[in-house]
């Protein structure tokens, strides 16, 4: 267990962007419509300790439906999957206020600003909406504001709901290219079987490759509160690790559980190791299988900058072709007409034509609004091998 804890500590020590998912059972206090404020205060202190080190933290929090049950007359014993969708949505509309207010109060005591961000599945799957959401998160992080994210239950439907925030936390991590996801739960990790039913169940500290056996070890969600359970966490871990993101599961119920996870070797957890080969495959997919909507021709100076890991600035663009919108894939070519990269455009075709060859500082004067300084961000680009 000690070896595992050191591995988890090392992961969190080197991570630059961390997404923390908070389960409903941790957010809600003893009363149906009250948050666990003492716990949230401690979490805020733990997060501040990391942001003081220069790390960027995003919180994905459940709890909206759990904290809105009382107003809707929903028993605490009723499992989430037994609640009609319209009642879930109404309960969330009530409870989401309590959730964010709890985080706001906790971080306000430390002079840290929080921002409420509500997402749906379609926001992460639509290229333009994904880009808008990601830029919002980046802007908040750059200003040391803590985003507090939850699923937008009020507008979600059965078909597009995440179903639980374990998967949502991974989607957010993929969106911002995070290094690690931490799931603060009511269990300290993955076991060979349900430890509440089997006294011989063994804790698994490190999972290098998720197998069918690991998937079979998943249990059910906590009745009355959660929609996830270990099965959803393993599903989330599969998605995270294939994207090159580490995922950690630990018991978040103790005060300062996150602090202990980052610093105490004896704090038990399960670490799912990221699969870097799969990340390379994803990049190859981006470069080879995204159908470009347009073509950007760049000069030699811009090409040299790309090879140094820089973004594509408008000043390096010589020619713009095609019919594309912001968030569409475009092909990047050198002055010889050779394909050198694929990327996601931060501007539509018309705006790209207007700012090509111009300095980034001129964009606001030319377009009349403040957009991105780059035409294609390095994080949205894959160079040809």
pLDDT digit string, tens, across residues 232-248: 889 889 888 888 899 99
**322-328 mean pLDDT:** 89
Residue pLDDT, tens place only, 9-45: 999 999 999 999 998 889 988 777 789 999 999 999 9
Judged against a pLDDT cut of 50, whether residue 281 lies above it is answered with no
Cross-strand pairs, 183:
21, 249
Structure confidence at residue 164 as a pLDDT band (50, 70, 90): confident
C-alpha angle with apex 198: 192 to 202, nearest 5 degrees?
35
State yes or no: pLDDT of 159 exceeds 50. no
Q: In angstroms, rounded to a whole number, what is the distance separating the alpha carbons of residues 179 and 111?
A: 26
Predicted pLDDT of residue 160? 40
Domain boundaries, the chain: 2-275, 290-383
**Phi and psi for 145 in degrees, rounded to 5?**
-100, 135
Query: Per residue in 206-240, pLDDT tens?
Result: 998 888 888 877 655 444 444 557 888 898 898 88
Instruction: Return the CATH number of 290-383, one of 3.40.50.720, 3.40.50.10860, 2.60.120.1440, 2.30.130.10.
Output: 2.30.130.10
Confidence of residue 150 (pLDDT cuts 50, 70, 90): confident
Would you say residue 314 has pLDDT above 50? yes
d(CA 181, CA 162): 17
Confidence of residue 285 (pLDDT cuts 50, 70, 90): very low
User: Residue 270 contacts by C-beta under 8 Å, 6 or more apart in sequence?
Assistant: 4, 188, 189, 190, 203, 204, 205, 206, 207, 248, 249, 250
pLDDT at residue 125 is higher than 70: no
If one compares 105 and 25, the residue with the highest pLDDT of the two is: 105
Long-range contacts of the stretch 358-364 (C-beta < 8 A, 24+): 358/314, 358/315, 359/314, 359/315, 360/313, 360/314, 360/315, 363/314
Tokens 């704090």 sit on residue: 267
Q: Residue 316: pLDDT above 90?
A: yes
Q: How far apart are the first and last CA of the chain?
A: 41
Q: What is the pLDDT of residue 126?
A: 65
3-state SS assignment for residue 119: strand
For 156, the token pair is: 């979600």
pLDDT for 8 = 92
Mean pLDDT for the stretch of residues 313-319: 96
CA atoms within 13 A on the CB side of 156: 26
Other CB atoms closer than 10 Å to residue 6's CB: what's the count?
Answer: 12
**What pLDDT is attached to residue 119?**
86
Asked: is 2-275 a CATH 3.40.1160.10 domain? The reply is yes
Contact in structure between 224 and 76 (CB atoms under 8 Å):
yes
What is the arithmetic mean of pLDDT over 81-92? 83
> Is the pLDDT assigned to residue 287 strictly greater than 60?
no
For the CA atoms of 357, 358, 364, 367, what is the dihedral angle to 10 degrees? -30
Query: Is the C-alpha dihedral spanning 287, 291, 293, 299 positive or negative?
Result: positive
Pair 191, 218: CB distance under 8 Å? no
Q: Is a pLDDT exceeding 70 seen at residue 277?
A: no
Q: Which of 69-78, 163-172, 254-263, 360-369 has the highest mean pLDDT?
A: 254-263
- Give the separation between CA 355 and CA 367, rounded to whole angstroms: 8
**Greater confidence, 87 or 356?**
356
Q: Quick check: 202 and 265 in contact, CB under 8 A?
A: no
């Amino acid at each position: 267990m000690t070896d595992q804890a050191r591995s988890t500590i090392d992961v969190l020590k080197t991570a630059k962007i961390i997404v923390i998912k908070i389960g409903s059972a941790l957010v809600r206090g003893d009363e149906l419509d009250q948050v666990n404020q003492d716990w949230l205060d401690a979490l805020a202190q733990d997060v501040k300790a990391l942001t003081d080190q220069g790390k960027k933290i995003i919180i994905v929090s459940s709890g909206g439906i759990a904290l809105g049950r009382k107003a809707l007359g929903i028993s605490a014993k009723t499992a989430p999957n037994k609640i009609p969708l319209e009642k879930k949505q109404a309960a969330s509309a009530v409870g989401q206020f309590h959730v964010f207010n709890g985080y706001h109060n906790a971080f306000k005591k430390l002079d840290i600003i929080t921002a409420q961000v509500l997402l749906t599945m379609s926001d992460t799957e639509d290229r333009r909406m994904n880009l808008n959401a990601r830029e919002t998160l980046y802007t908040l992080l750059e200003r040391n504001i803590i985003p507090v994210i939850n699923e937008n239950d009020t507008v979600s439907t059965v078909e597009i709901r995440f179903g639980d925030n374990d998967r949502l936390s991974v989607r957010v991590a993929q969106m911002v290219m995070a290094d690690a996801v931490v799931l603060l739960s009511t269990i300290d990790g993955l076991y060979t079987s349900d430890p509440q039913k089997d006294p011989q169940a063994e804790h698994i500290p490190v999972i290098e490759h998720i197998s069918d056996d690991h998937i079979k070890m998943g249990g059910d969600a906590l009745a009355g509160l959660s929609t996830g359970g270990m099965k959803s966490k393993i599903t989330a871990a599969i998605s995270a690790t294939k994207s090159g993101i580490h995922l950690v599961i630990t018991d978040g119920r103790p005060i300062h559980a996150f602090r202990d996870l980052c610093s105490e070797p004896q704090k038990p957890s399960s670490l799912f190791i990221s699969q870097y080969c799969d990340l390379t495959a994803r990049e190859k997919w981006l470069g080879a299988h995204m159908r470009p909507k347009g073509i950007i021709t760049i000069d030699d100076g811009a090409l040299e900058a790309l090879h140094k890991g820089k973004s594509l600035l408008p000043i390096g663009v010589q020619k713009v072709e095609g019919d594309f919108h912001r968030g569409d894939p475009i092909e990047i070519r050198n002055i010889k007409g050779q394909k050198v990269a694929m990327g996601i455009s931060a501007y539509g075709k018309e705006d790209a034509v207007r700012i090509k060859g111009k300095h980034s500082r001129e964009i606001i004067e030319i377009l009349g609004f403040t957009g991105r300084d780059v035409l294609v961000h390095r994080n949205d680009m894959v160079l040809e091998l």
